[in-house]
Structure 1
Amino acid sequence: MISAQLFHNLNKYARITTDDFAVIESKLSKKFVKKRKALLMEGDVSRYVYFVEKGALRSYTVDKEGTEHVVQLVVEEHWIGDLCSFVSQSAGNINIEAIEDSEVLLLAHHDLEMLYEQIPQLERFFRQLFQRAYVSLQQWHNAAQSEHAEERYQQLIKEHPHIAARIPLIYIASYLGITPESLSRIRKQLFS
């Protein structure tokens, strides 16, 4: 299978040898997900974490009124999952759906736990990944409380220009916590 993308990604926060990587790869499976198809549904137990090799995905929740709220937008070389469900191995409240035809690598919870014992650097990688995800979530929450939507949008396109270029505006608006119409007005003001 040899995924250069994954090898590079794992070595961002850890020192994974080629021998260790071969062990990790032996535990991965690949899944193709068609555009608008679900990878995970609310109520399911998240048995896997997903690494995006190709495509774009979103995670979202649905409130009591049926409104979707985007939690995460990812493209190649990023991880996605329902972390609460994955860690606790209990039913989750996150949906994950492909925005584009996508290819993802799946790493099962039980395999990851076993790999932590075999490859301490992998545990270091995921600790770093989860810590950074938590910090990012906290910063995003704080920004939502203290910054205008225009500022949050500018920050998003500055840090992740690929998101703005590939993700439909309706999902970006939901991620920002605003209506698509508000996002259109913001974009018109910024780019006119």
Structure 2
Amino acid sequence: MKIRRRQYFLKEGEVCKHFAFIVKGAMRQYKVDDKGVEHVVHLGIENWWVGDRESWVMLSPTAYCIDAWEDSELLLISREDAVRLQHELPAFSEMTRLLDERNNIANQRRITSSISATAEGRYSDFVDCHPDFLQRFPQHIIASYLGITKETLSRIRKQALQK
């Protein structure tokens, strides 16, 4: 599947029927609150997966939007095909198990960071873990992902340059 910048892969209220492997491009997953503010929960670039796991597994409407931040090329897999491949190919089953483990670890670290780290610490961790994202996503997207304002991120970056 090819999608253009700002084109949706998934909209709030839809059921996530496919997970996508990003071959080329950059994507973001976010939720819009009652005030119209976007809260970024996931970023992805080449060799990352995107989709709403809860919607995909439960066949329920998603609370998120997923769109392309850059023109993107995706490989799609349906839930039915993924389940079939897990049964037929032990290597596919092992790959998904490892991806799930890594995803769980990353989510746990992100939650811990968001409830216990300073804004500076969250940014530092982000830079260490995802240096490629700094060139691919603008400051306001990164700030939203970190749960801080773009002004706070600007101040943190300015202080980091002065060190």
Is TM more than 0.5 here?
A: yes
1:137 counterpart residue number: 107
**Equivalent residue of 2:132, what SS?**
helix
CA distance in 2, matches of 1:133, 1:95: 19
The partner residue of 2:72 within 98, 102, 106 is: 102
Offset, 1:166: 1.2
- Counterpart in 2 of 1:160? 130
Is 1:68 matched up with 2:42?
A: no
More displaced 10-residue stretch of structure 1: 98-107 or 132-141: 132-141
Q: In the alignment, residue 187 of structure 1 is paired with which amino acid?
A: R
Give the one of 115, 129, 132 matched to 2:85.
115
Q: Distance in 2 between matches of 1:113 and 1:122?
A: 10
> Structure 1: which amino acid aligns with 2:29?
S
Normalising by the residue count of structure 1, what TM-score does the alignment of the two structures yield? 0.82
The alpha carbon displacement at 1:131 in A equals: 2.2
Q: Which amino acid aligns with 1:130?
A: D
* Matched position secondary structure for 2:85: helix
Q: Which amino acid in the other structure matches residue 142 of structure 2?
A: I
Partner of 1:10: none
- RMSD (Å) for aligned C-alpha atoms: 1.0
- 2:116 aligns with 146
Whole-angstrom CA distance in 2 between matches of 1:124 and 1:159 = 24
Structure 2 residue aligned with 1:32: 2
Shift, 1:63, TM fit: 1.4
Aligned to 1:52: 22
**Structure 2: gaps (5+ residues):** none
**What's the counterpart of residue 154 of structure 2?**
184
Q: TM-score, normalised by structure 2?
A: 0.96
Aligned to 1:135, the other structure's residue is in SS state helix
Cα distance in 1, alignment partners of residues 33 and 81 from structure 2: 33
